[in-house]
């Protein structure tokens, strides 16, 4: 199982510091974008990142209304994948098509209370699935264990799906996460807010191997 450091901040200086830290131990990160509308919190804007060189491959998790408005800018800063919430746009298939037309992969984020039946029609249209194991929009929120039951059900229905999980991942639950059938886990505060982020990242790798 892959460990993907997750960057969530509303300050450019902190963003740059987190990127500098991450490049010491990984080549791939997730960057969270929140608009304060789709979710209560607000993170760094794409405008703030224009012209910023990001020396890592990245996926963007959009917790925003009007995801289409973000796509061209995400392409310009080097995003390899865009993960959207299907509830954020009345025509998610069109957003997915726009992502692909820009040469990026498309992922679908699934909230803790979302049933598989609600997004089943989109399964064949995207490259990956990100199950949120916290309510989206808050850094360091507690893990919701029942999400692993949904992951197991989804894995049973779609055995070849590429599945990620995001939120509240810790060294205490990482083995259960892997056993549920997860391919990659996004970890934010338990890497970046630790005294030695590289050591924390390596501890997650070791515990999930």
Residues marked as catalytic? 32, 166
CA–CA gap between residue 105 and residue 8 (Å, rounded): 21
């Amino acid at each position: 199982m892959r460990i993907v450091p997750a960057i969530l901040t509303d300050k450019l200086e902190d963003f740059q510091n987190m990127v500098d830290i991450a490049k010491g131990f990984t080549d791939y990160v997730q960057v969270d974008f929140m608009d304060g509308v789709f979710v209560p919190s607000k993170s760094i804007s794409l405008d703030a990142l224009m012209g910023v060189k990001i020396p890592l491959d990245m996926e963007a998790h959009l917790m925003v209304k009007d995801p289409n408005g973000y796509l061209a800018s995400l392409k310009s800063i080097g995003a390899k994948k865009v993960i959207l919430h299907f509830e954020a746009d009345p025509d998610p298939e069109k957003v997915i098509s726009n992502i692909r037309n820009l040469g990026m992969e498309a992922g679908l984020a699934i909230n803790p209370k979302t049933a598989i039946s609600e997004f089943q029609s989109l399964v064949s249209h995207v490259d990956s699935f990100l199950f949120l194991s916290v309510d989206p929009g808050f850094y360091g929120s507690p893990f919701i264990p029942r999400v692993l039951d949904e992951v197991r059900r989804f894995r049973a229905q779609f055995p070849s799906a590429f599945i990620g999980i995001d939120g509240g991942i810790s060294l205490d639950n990482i083995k259960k996460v892997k056993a549920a059938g997860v391919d990659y886990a996004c970890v934010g505060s338990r890497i970046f807010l630790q005294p030695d982020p590289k050591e924390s990242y390596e501890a997650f790798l070791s515990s999930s191997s």
